[in-house]
Chain A
Amino acid sequence: MNTIIYLDNNATTKVAPEVLEAMLPFFMERYGNPSSMHDFGGDVAHDVERARQSVAQMLGADYDYEIVFTSGATESDNMAILGTLQYYRDKKHIVTTKVEHPAVLNLCRQLEREGYSVTYVPVDREGNLDIDYLFDSITNDTAIVSVMYANNETGVIFPVEEIGAFCKKRGVPFHVDAVQAIGKIPVDVNKIQCDLLAISGHKFHAPKGIGVLYVRRGTRLRPILYGGHQEKARRPGTHNVPGIIGIGKAAELVIHHLANKDEVQRVKKLRNKLEEGLLNQFPNAHLNGNKDKRVDNTTNIGFEFIEGEAILLYLNEKGIAASSGSACSSGSLEPSHVLRAMGVPFTSAHGSIRFSLSRYTTEEEIDYTLRVMPEVVNQLLEISPYWDSINKKGKPIGELAR
């Protein structure tokens, strides 16, 4: 097969054809700067505002100006947390989770070096957040609570609405990293009652390099960049117009997609077909993450006794792109911090593969994947000394895993 079967949509997605089409005129014909005084720029400003409306609508925001365009979710997350801390200078405590994206985790680590204290709320074996732990950790010194909506590796959804209600009652600013939820489940900032919410364009068929920070009206936030007056000086810098047009169009498509229940069900069914197909075929495979409380496009499967990077390389040979929680494929030495936080045993954390679908995934692609997986897995089991031990010598894996 020459075409690539792309099952790594939590890493990035393809730009939707409608999105590309909407963007194209803004590169060469309509390249005006929306901040200019002339009509050539001013007209573009109207398109930027229309894109803002689409995003606001997708997020259920009350006001368009609550949408701030950024370069992506990393910037949005940093802006939310740093900007809040800059405002509440006397508060030195942050609450987040152990399984956040590095955009939040690494920022928190740095803030710890600068004298902040951070509570990293744990998750259970299925990746569910310990919400009581989170509630208990909030103090009068807490400047911000930052929690992801859906986990990028397992797809597990966190109870952000409950957390939002609690934070509201306590008067603590609440930031949600909704990167992996957007486009997959309806995201409504008013239901969540969050003050800040970050999303990234390239995770829902807009291009890379464009993101949004939702900033609720009245939220206290200082900018982290200083420059012009763009985005009400909250995020200065010339607008990335094509990107903004792209994310606006992608937002329209999300609204459309999520309204079509059949389409949503189709993705879920394909995911389930893949998941069940794999779990049934391989007795040594199991699901990482809560089966029910998760986004419909993601499945993370641990294959015992074989290593993730090797699986990925073999899949790559077959034209399938997926992702692994294994240490080796990431260049780090420990398996994914998410799987470790969940207490997934090393025996299978090293062999975990994440398949993430998109609305463009076809049944044929899933069937093909199911067809080639046995060859990949068996080939690697053949090489594996552990599999060998289990098979022939009946040595319990615990002894090997010591």
Chain B
Amino acid sequence: MWEYTEKVKELYKNPKNVGEIPDADVVVEVGSIVCGDALTLYLKLDGDKIVDAKFKTFGCGSAIASSSALTEMIKGKTVEEAAKISNKDIVEFLGGLPDQKMHCSVMGQEALEKAIKKIKGQKVEDEHEDEGAIVCQCFGVSENLIRRVIKENNLTTVEEVTNYTKAGGACGSCIPKIEDIIKEELAKVVAKPEATAGTKSMSNLKRMQLVEETIQNVIRPVLMRDGGDIELIDIDGKKVYVALRGHCAHCVISDVTMKNLVQEKLREFVEQDIEVIEVK
């Protein structure tokens, strides 16, 4: 049995806003019966205000609760305010969802986004074209959706992506592709502090300080997500000596990590000609 919060239980037992709005201004459908979740969302607008929201859902307890939560959250909001709601907010509203059920909240967010697009008069294409290539054939999950949940929820593993989107949860043949996407997104997520990197010469002290900061704030968080870590061993002019720790230490692609992550980021944030040397 799942550990559902009281809020989830309350909402699947007595979901609020179930049904249709006959003269709805917007009706969107997401999901499919193949995946085992589907949601139809009805919105009634007054100017740019969402005055009513109703839903119908095919899905498990948390799908019903997520849909109900979504409608409660957006009622009375302006379209702009509603546009800020993400799956995380839905999860928060519910007091949490089991990991494997996160995709239910994503379905809510998808429906909302689609609805807002419609309201704004943007074309809502057949989802699949709109969302880029389908990565997971089993569940019809697109590349863009995967990228988005990774970004918005700071996901770092295939398992997490599966929990949020179902992609990879059946035959598994899309897992390598999901892994690639995670790697690409991870390389991007690194928050960019004020770029100081330039070609101007800098003092040794300043350089050391920047190297330390970049490792601490930019590089380490990425490695730690994969259960790894990094240690700064020494700095000698523009040579930076580091050692990988944790998972990264035994990782077969540690060279790649060194070059593509550590060196690249130090070059970006400290100095363009910095050289990183791995101490084994």
Hey, which bits of chain A sit against chain B, CB under 8 A? 305-310, 313-314, 317, 326-329, 331-335, 346-347, 350, 382-386, 388, 397, 400-402
Contact B33 A401 (CB under 8 A): yes
> With the chains together, A310 CA to B169 CA distance in Å?
20
Contact A386 B33 (CB under 8 A): yes
The answer to whether A326 and B36 touch (CB under 8 A), given A333-B139, A334-B138, A334-B169, is: yes
Contact residues of B between 24 and 66, Cβ < 8 Å to A: 29, 32-34, 36-40, 56-64
Contact B20 A329 (CB under 8 A): no
Contact A385 B34 (CB under 8 A): no
Q: Which residue of B lies closest to A305 (CB)?
A: B58
CB distance from B94 to the nearest CB of A (A): 15
Contact B40 A346 (CB under 8 A): no
Contact A313 B18 (CB under 8 A): no
Contact B60 A307 (CB under 8 A): yes
The answer to whether A313 and B12 touch (CB under 8 A), given A328-B60, A332-B169, A383-B64, is: yes
> With the chains together, A309 CA to B59 CA distance in Å?
8
Contact A310 B64 (CB under 8 A): yes
The answer to whether A329 and B33 touch (CB under 8 A), given A313-B12, A383-B15, A383-B18, is: no
Q: B59-90 CB contact bits vs A (8 Å, 1 = yes)?
A: 11111100000000000000000000000000
A350 in complex: contacting residue of B29, B36, B139, B166, CB < 8 Å: B36
B12 in complex: contacting residue of A310, A335, A388, A402, CB < 8 Å: A310
The answer to whether A384 and B36 touch (CB under 8 A), given A307-B63, A313-B12, is: no
Let me know if B257 is at the binding interface, CB within 8 A: no
What 14 additional pairs, Cβ within 8 angstroms, besides A317-B13, A333-B169, A386-B58? Answer: A310-B59, A310-B63, A313-B13, A313-B60, A328-B63, A332-B169, A333-B166, A334-B138, A383-B58, A384-B56, A386-B38, A388-B40, A400-B33, A402-B34
Question: When A and B form their complex, which 3 residue pairs have the shortest distance between CB atoms, in order from nearest?
Answer: A333-B169, A328-B60, A309-B60
Q: B73-111 CB contact bits vs A (8 Å, 1 = yes)?
A: 000000000000000000000000000110000000000
> With the chains together, A334 CA to B167 CA distance in Å?
11
A401: chain B residues at CB < 8 Å are 32-34
Contact A350 B15 (CB under 8 A): no
Let me know if B162 is at the binding interface, CB within 8 A: yes
The answer to whether A385 and B29 touch (CB under 8 A), given A350-B36, A401-B34, is: yes
Contact A326 B57 (CB under 8 A): no
Hey, which bits of chain B sit against chain A, CB under 8 A? 2, 12-13, 15, 18-20, 29, 32-34, 36-40, 56-64, 100-101, 138-139, 162, 166, 169-170
> With the chains together, A103 CA to B125 CA distance in Å?
45
> With the chains together, A326 CA to B35 CA distance in Å?
11
Contact A388 B33 (CB under 8 A): no
A313: chain B residues at CB < 8 Å are 12-13, 60-61
Sample (12) of A-B pairs whose CB atoms are under 8 Å apart: A309-B60, A313-B12, A313-B61, A334-B169, A346-B36, A350-B58, A383-B64, A384-B56, A384-B58, A385-B39, A386-B58, A401-B34
Contact B61 A309 (CB under 8 A): yes
> With the chains together, A401 CA to B32 CA distance in Å?
7
CB distance from B171 to the nearest CB of A (A): 9
Contact B56 A335 (CB under 8 A): no
Q: Which residue of B lies closest to A392 (CB)?
A: B20
> With the chains together, A317 CA to B10 CA distance in Å?
11
Query: Counting chain B CB atoms within 10 Å of each CB, which of A309, A333, A347, A400 scores highest?
Result: A333
Q: Which residue of B lies closest to A332 (CB)?
A: B169
Contact A385 B64 (CB under 8 A): no
CB distance from B14 to the nearest CB of A (A): 10
Contact B169 A328 (CB under 8 A): no
B57: chain A residues at CB < 8 Å are 383-385
> With the chains together, A317 CA to B12 CA distance in Å?
11
Contact A385 B12 (CB under 8 A): no
> With the chains together, A384 CA to B20 CA distance in Å?
11
Contact B29 A310 (CB under 8 A): no
B170 in complex: contacting residue of A305, A331, A334, A388, CB < 8 Å: A334
Q: Which residue of B lies closest to A346 (CB)?
A: B34
Q: Which residue of A lies closest to B33 (CB)?
A: A401
Query: Counting chain B CB atoms within 10 Å of each CB, which of A314, A383, A388 scores highest?
Result: A383
B166: chain A residues at CB < 8 Å are 333
> With the chains together, A397 CA to B32 CA distance in Å?
11
> With the chains together, A388 CA to B63 CA distance in Å?
17
Contact A329 B56 (CB under 8 A): no
Contact B32 A400 (CB under 8 A): yes
Contact A347 B64 (CB under 8 A): no
Q: Which residue of A lies closest to B4 (CB)?
A: A313
> With the chains together, A329 CA to B60 CA distance in Å?
8
A346: chain B residues at CB < 8 Å are 33-34, 36
> With the chains together, A332 CA to B159 CA distance in Å?
12
> With the chains together, A333 CA to B169 CA distance in Å?
6
Q: Which residue of B lies closest to A382 (CB)?
A: B18
B39: chain A residues at CB < 8 Å are 385
B29: chain A residues at CB < 8 Å are 385
A385: chain B residues at CB < 8 Å are 29, 38-40, 56-58
The answer to whether A310 and B61 touch (CB under 8 A), given A317-B13, A350-B33, is: yes
CB distance from B176 to the nearest CB of A (A): 17
Q: Which residue of A lies closest to B19 (CB)?
A: A382
A397: chain B residues at CB < 8 Å are 33
A308: chain B residues at CB < 8 Å are 60
Contact B36 A307 (CB under 8 A): yes
Contact A327 B20 (CB under 8 A): no
